[in-house]
């Protein structure tokens, strides 16, 4: 499909989108996927699925928001499918990453212990800077729900790591 001439302009368009967004999407998805390796896998699946709808998605205000929405849907269905395995792996990092001196594993473990919905809220609002309204639109929930999840997530982080939060 990429190689055919009719959708070549679309493909170029998508290529640029992919090239500029890939890194930040992967890094953000670490927060919901739990590891860099899992985040890369998730991001690639999400980008590929986005490409399948690209003629529609490219017209959206935030194509990246669409990628995140797809990524989180994929993540949820994978979690459902692997519910037992995930339960067994709870509290542990599921995939081995390259050693990264910038990573505090105890923070990853802490995030892994949060409900997925709270991790999603943290990623979208706290890390990516979406408003509660935008995050609600991406997640398909009310902004007030996003705020609630965010509030609980921050409180849990504060309890665990101290600091006055915000």
Partner 1 sequence: MTETKELLRAAIGATQPAIPDVRSVLQRRRARRRRERVVAAVVALALTAGLAIGLGTLLHGDGGARPSDGVRVVGPTRVVLIPSVSMEPTLHVGDSVLVDEGAYRASAGLPGRGDLIAFITPARGDTPYGALGQTFVKRVVGLPGDTVEERSGAMYVDGKPFLMPPATEPDHRAMGPWTVQPGHVFVVGDNLGNSNDSRYALGQLPITNIVGKVVEILSPNDRRATIEPPPAGSVAGPGPSGPSGR
In the complex, least distance from residue 101 CB atom to partner 1, rounded to whole angstroms: 7
Q: How far apart are CA 124 and CA 116, in angstroms?
A: 12
Torsion angle, alpha carbons of 68, 73, 76, 77, to 10: -140
Q: Which residue has 């990264």 as its token pair?
A: 100
Binding partner 1 (rule: CB under 8 A), the pick from 115, 127, 133, 159 is: 127
- Please say which residue, 114 or 138, places its beta carbon nearer to partner 1: 114
Q: Which residues, numbered 70-109, are part of the site for partner 1 (CB under 8 A)?
A: 97-98, 100-104, 107-108
Q: Tell me: does residue 131 bind partner 1 (CB under 8 A).
A: no
Q: In terms of Cα–Cα distance, which of 79, 69, 62 is closest to 140?
A: 69
Rounded to whole angstroms, the Cα distance separating 103 from 141 reads 31
Biggest CA pair distance of the chain = 57
Identify residues 30-69 at the interface with partner 1 (CB under 8 A).
Answer: 30-31, 36, 39-40, 44-45, 47-49, 51
Q: How far is the CB of 136 from partner 1 (least distance, A)?
A: 19
What sections of 34-142 are H helices per DSSP? 36-52, 54-57, 63-81, 83-89, 105-113, 116-121, 132-139
Q: CB-wise, 38 or 139, nearer to partner 1?
A: 38
Cβ atoms within 10 Å, residue 51 = 21
Q: By CB under 8 A, tell whether 147 contacts partner 1.
A: no
Q: How far is the CB of 23 from partner 1 (least distance, A)?
A: 6
Nearer to partner 1, 137 or 160 (CB): 160
C-alpha separations of 79 from 12, 84, 125, 156 in Å: 33, 9, 22, 22
Positions that interact with partner 1 (CB under 8 A)? 1-2, 14-15, 18-19, 22-23, 26-28, 30-31, 36, 39-40, 44-45, 47-49, 51, 97-98, 100-104, 107-108, 111, 122-123, 126-127, 154, 157-158, 161, 163-166
């Amino acid at each position: 499909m990429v190689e055919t001439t009719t959708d070549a302009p679309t493909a170029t368009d998508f290529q640029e989108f992919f090239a500029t967004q890939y890194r930040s999407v992967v890094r953000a998805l670490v927060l919901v996927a739990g590891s860099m390796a899992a985040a890369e896998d998730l991001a690639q699946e999400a980008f590929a699925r986005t490409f399948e709808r690209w003629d529609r998605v490219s017209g959206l205000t935030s194509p990246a928001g669409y990628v995140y929405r797809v990524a989180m849907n994929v993540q949820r269905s994978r979690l459902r499918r692997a519910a037992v395995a995930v339960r067994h792996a709870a509290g542990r990092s599921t995939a081995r990453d390259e050693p990264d001196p910038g990573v505090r594993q105890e923070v990853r473990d802490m995030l892994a212990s949060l409900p997925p919905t709270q991790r999603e809220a943290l990623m979208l609002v706290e890390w990516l800077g979406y408003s509660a309204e935008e995050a609600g639109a991406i997640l398909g929930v009310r902004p007030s729900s996003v705020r609630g999840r965010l509030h609980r997530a921050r409180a849990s982080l504060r309890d665990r790591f101290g600091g006055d939060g915000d």
